[in-house]
């Protein structure tokens, strides 16, 4: 028999397992995080593929979506079944299947094992978290398990590298893997007897419950105490985002300003230097200043998820989600939207009901994504005093928390209304594995946070840079004769193409307290929300070359017609509320189009959220103006 590994094509290995079984950790350990992300042909279900080299053999590891069964309920489960059966166009079936099962829950995992074995493909069973199995007093006879199933069995601890050497030696030659002499029965009565016989033979000692996990869950999963704990965690979360990130932000702000001054002093005066300093450095640098908050946000989110807390949060709110016509899987997707709406919308593929999936997609943009954070941080840092409430809670952190709560509450209300209009769909079972609490390895957290930071910097170096360059041209052309000094700079700015666009928008946004400069920022932020920060930075750099920082500039800006501040408390509050609701993200609209296979629903989402943003901002401006005037 010719070895598959000797062929020119790489050995294709399908990595399959249930959620929280350690599948992704194993994928990262095998591929070294070198993954390519794409969609299966004809379906909007993401696939990840990574390459590895073992003893000169090329391996291609395909990380399939997590499933509990091969009887599909949701789109991602359906595509797993189709891939394994070789029924997906342009995707050859895997040469072998690497099946991951949590060793501490072997009884549940054997159900999936039985279904996979019945595919009659080369299978290697990987038992993960064997260290936790031993710590909880459990023992599995690996030799007897191999004999009972008829396939190779390897125990690993993925993040520590335990067992990976033995596994790697197996992977290049799936054609040599042993096969079961008898397949597990298909009928549920007979299959239960098979499962019981396997467990009785191989499970020498059942793992006891994790006392630490049980003790913590008595509080975390309690309907009252768990809810209060979640609220406390969120309050602390946003307090830390401001308290810990501010020194690094101030240092970056100083560095960006110093770079601009150095370039202006070194390079000859003229349009090229103005373009570099005011267009590139001021535009992109004003957004990069908020990188410390982005890093801190994703660090905290990553820790909460990898510790096992986020799965508990989904369990606690499942009942609330049911009352508004959604379920726990929808909460997981909405929770993903706090990082970015794009992966949040893609996460709705796990929702079996098409109607619930559509509702979740339509409300996902209301969750406060990381792109809003630079906008919130700029306005809160400039206009909310850094004082404490009740002696220990920072007011700035509380305002930030309030904006997140407002967005999340609006998403739940919108979901309830849309569910009533579109129908609640079929009630389908919701399975959620509650993993034991684990301290994630530092390398994993660092890699996840670095991925988020790199994505933020990539946006700054692509989308924000491109918009900043175009905007600089619109702010400086057409050229007009204007007297020297600040007044002349203001006249030239208002006569520019961007100034004319802003003035044309003023009748629509004046009721919200916004002037033409904010209007230009709102138009530019349609590409990405954080672009408004770069836009305002360029506008104020053009009107006051070599002036103060952006926070100082917007604090001191005065309307020349009235002599009043441009950014009044009412205007700031209205602008913050506008960004809570408005869908200002081209990428989100594009992924909505792809997931719904129509422009109808992205257009609907953009329209209803824009109307909601305008109405909420109008009411906010009127209320705050009445209270502060």
Structure confidence by residue, pLDDT tens digits, 64-93: 888 888 888 777 778 888 888 777 777 788
Strand 123-128, strand 57-63: pairing: unpaired
Query: Is the predicted pLDDT of residue 153 greater than 90, yes or no?
Result: yes
The mean pLDDT of 241-259, rounded to a whole number, is: 89
pLDDT at 46: 61
Contacts of residue 283, Cβ cutoff 8 Å, sequence gap at least 6: 464, 465, 467, 468, 469, 471, 472, 534, 535, 537, 538
Count up the domains in the chain and report the number. Answer: 1
Rounded to whole angstroms, the Cα distance separating 569 from 575 reads 10
The mean pLDDT of 436-448, rounded to a whole number, is: 80
Rounded to whole angstroms, the Cα distance separating 485 from 480 reads 14
User: Which of 41-45, 48-52, 191-195, 569-573 bottoms out in mean pLDDT, i.e. has the lowest?
Assistant: 41-45
The mean pLDDT of 130-141, rounded to a whole number, is: 91
Flag whether 152 is in a domain: yes
Identify any residues that bridge with 127 across adjacent strands, giving them in sequence order.
101, 155
Flag whether 65 is in a domain: yes
Rounded to whole angstroms, the Cα distance separating 535 from 514 reads 15
SS3 94: coil
Identify any residues that bridge with 572 across adjacent strands, giving them in sequence order.
none
Rounded to whole angstroms, the Cα distance separating 92 from 508 reads 55
Report the chain's mean pLDDT, rounded to a whole number: 87
Contact indicator for 480, 492 with CB cutoff of 8 Å: yes
Contact indicator for 381, 551 with CB cutoff of 8 Å: yes
Query: Is the predicted pLDDT of residue 479 greater than 80, yes or no?
Result: yes
Query: Is the predicted pLDDT of residue 215 greater than 60, yes or no?
Result: yes
Query: Is the predicted pLDDT of residue 502 greater than 50, yes or no?
Result: yes
166 vs 423: which has the higher pLDDT: 166
Query: Is the predicted pLDDT of residue 102 greater than 80, yes or no?
Result: yes
39 vs 545: which has the higher pLDDT: 545
pLDDT at 11: 94
pLDDT at 43: 43
Rounded to whole angstroms, the Cα distance separating 610 from 629 reads 28
User: Which of 346-350, 354-358, 538-542, 544-548 bottoms out in mean pLDDT, i.e. has the lowest?
Assistant: 544-548
Flag whether 113 is in a domain: yes
User: Which of 183-197, 253-267, 305-319 bottoms out in mean pLDDT, i.e. has the lowest?
Assistant: 305-319
pLDDT at 4: 44
CATH code (residue 185): 3.40.50.300
No. of H helices and E strands in the chain?
A: 28, 11
Flag whether 178 is in a domain: yes
DSSP 372: G
Flag whether 19 is in a domain: yes
Q: Which of 5, 125, 122, 2 is nearest to 53 (CA)?
A: 5
pLDDT at 329: 74
Q: Name the percent of the chain lying above pLDDT 90.
A: 48
Q: Which of 294, 292, 291, 335 is nearest to 313 (CA)?
A: 335
Flag whether 528 is in a domain: no
| Number of residues assigned to the chain | 629
Flag whether 521 is in a domain: no
Full-prediction pTM beyond 0.85?
Answer: no
pLDDT at 487: 81
pLDDT per residue as tens digits for the range 301-314? 888 888 888 878 77
How many CB atoms neighbour CB 247 within 10 A?
Answer: 10
Rounded to whole angstroms, the Cα distance separating 463 from 134 reads 50
The mean pLDDT of 129-140, rounded to a whole number, is: 90
Query: Is the predicted pLDDT of residue 103 greater than 90, yes or no?
Result: yes
pLDDT per residue as tens digits for the range 339-382? 889 888 988 877 878 888 999 999 999 999 989 999 999 999 99
pLDDT at 42: 40
pLDDT at 390: 83
The mean pLDDT of 292-298, rounded to a whole number, is: 89
pLDDT at 466: 92
pLDDT per residue as tens digits for the range 30-65? 887 555 444 433 444 566 788 888 888 899 998 888
DSSP 429: -
The mean pLDDT of 230-242, rounded to a whole number, is: 86
pLDDT at 568: 96
SS3 388: strand
Rounded to whole angstroms, the Cα distance separating 281 from 288 reads 10
Angle at 300 between CA 390 and CA 387, to 5 degrees: 25
The mean pLDDT of 94-100, rounded to a whole number, is: 94
The mean pLDDT of 608-617, rounded to a whole number, is: 98
Contact indicator for 52, 5 with CB cutoff of 8 Å: no
**Domain that includes residue 171, residue range:** 4-208
How many CB atoms neighbour CB 348 within 10 A?
Answer: 26
The mean pLDDT of 326-347, rounded to a whole number, is: 82
Flag whether 274 is in a domain: no
pLDDT at 48: 77
pLDDT at 5: 43
The mean pLDDT of 263-270, rounded to a whole number, is: 92
617 vs 297: which has the higher pLDDT: 617
The mean pLDDT of 577-593, rounded to a whole number, is: 94
């Amino acid at each position: 028999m010719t070895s598959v590994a000797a062929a020119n094509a790489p050995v294709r290995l399908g990595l399959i397992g249930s959620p929280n079984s350690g599948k992704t950790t194993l994928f990262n350990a095998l591929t070294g995080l070198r993954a390519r992300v794409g969609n299966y042909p004809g379906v909007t279900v993401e696939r990840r593929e990574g390459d590895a080299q073992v003893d000169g053999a090329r391996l291609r590891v395909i990380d399939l979506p997590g499933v509990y069964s091969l009887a599909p309920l949701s789109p991602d489960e359906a595509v797993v079944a189709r891939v394994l059966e070789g029924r997906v166009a342009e995707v050859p079936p895997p040469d072998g299947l690497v099946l991951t099962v949590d060793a501490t829950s072997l009884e549940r995992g054997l159900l999936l094992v039985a279904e996979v074995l019945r595919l009659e493909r080369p299978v290697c069973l990987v038992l993960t978290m064997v260290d936790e199995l031993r710590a909880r007093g459990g023992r599995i006879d690996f030799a007897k398990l191999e004999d009972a199933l008829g396939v190779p069995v390897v125990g690993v601890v993925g993040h520590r590298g335990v067992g990976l050497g033995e596994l790697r030696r197996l992977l290049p030659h799936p054609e040599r893997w042993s096969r079961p002499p008898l397949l597990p029965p298909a009928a549920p009565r007979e299959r239960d007897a098979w499962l019981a016989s396997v467990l009785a033979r191989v499970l020498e000692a059942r793992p006891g419950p994790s006392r630490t996990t049980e003790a913590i869950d008595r509080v975390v999963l309690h309907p009252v105490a768990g809810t209060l704990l979640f609220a406390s965690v969120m309050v602390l979360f946003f307090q830390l985002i401001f308290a810990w990130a501010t020194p690094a932000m101030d240092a970056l702000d100083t560095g960006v300003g110093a770079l601009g001054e150095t370039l202006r002093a070194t390079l000859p005066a003229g349009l090229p230097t103005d373009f570099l300093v005011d267009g590139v450095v001021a535009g992109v640098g004003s957004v990069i200043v908020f990188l410390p908050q982005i890093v801190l946000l994703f660090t905290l989110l990553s820790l909460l998820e990898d510790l096992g807390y986020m799965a508990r949060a989904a369990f606690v709110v499942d009942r609330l989600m049911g009352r508004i016509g959604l379920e726990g899987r929808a909460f997981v997707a909405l929770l993903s939207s706090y990082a970015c709406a794009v992966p949040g919308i893609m996460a709705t593929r796990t929702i079996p009901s098409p109607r619930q999936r559509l509702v979740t997609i339509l409300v996902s943009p209301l969750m406060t994504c990381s792109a809003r954070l630079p906008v919130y941080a700029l306005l809160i840092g400039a206009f909310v005093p850094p004082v404490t409430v009740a002696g220990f809670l920072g007011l700035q952190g509380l305002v930030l928390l309030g904006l997140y709560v407002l967005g999340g509450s609006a998403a739940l209300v919108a979901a309830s209304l849309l569910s009533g209009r579109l129908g609640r769909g079929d009630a389908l079972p919701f399975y959620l594995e509650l993993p034991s609490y684990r301290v994630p390895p530092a390398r994993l957290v660092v890699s996840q946070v670095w991925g988020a930071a790199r994505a933020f910097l990539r946006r700054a170096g692509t989308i924000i840079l491109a918009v900043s360059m175009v905007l600089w041209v619109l702010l400086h052309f057409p050229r007009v004769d204007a007297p020297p000094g600040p007044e002349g700079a203001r006249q030239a700015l208002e006569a520019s193409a961007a100034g004319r666009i802003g003035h044309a928008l003023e009748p629509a946004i004046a009721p919200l307290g916004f002037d033409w400069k904010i209007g230009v920022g709102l138009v530019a932020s349609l590409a990405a929300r954080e672009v408004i920060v770069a836009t305002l930075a360029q506008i104020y750099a053009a009107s006051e070359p070599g002036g103060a920082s952006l926070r100082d500039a917007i604090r001191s800006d005065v309307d020349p017609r009235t002599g009043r501040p441009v950014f009044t408390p009412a205007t700031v509050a209205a602008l913050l509320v506008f960004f809570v609701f408005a869908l200002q993200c081209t990428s989100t609209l594009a992924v909505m189009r792809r997931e719904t296979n129509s422009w109808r629903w992205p257009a609907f989402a953009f329209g209803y959220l824009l109307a909601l943003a305008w109405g909420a901002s109008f009411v906010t401006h009127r209320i705050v103006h009445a209270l502060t005037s």
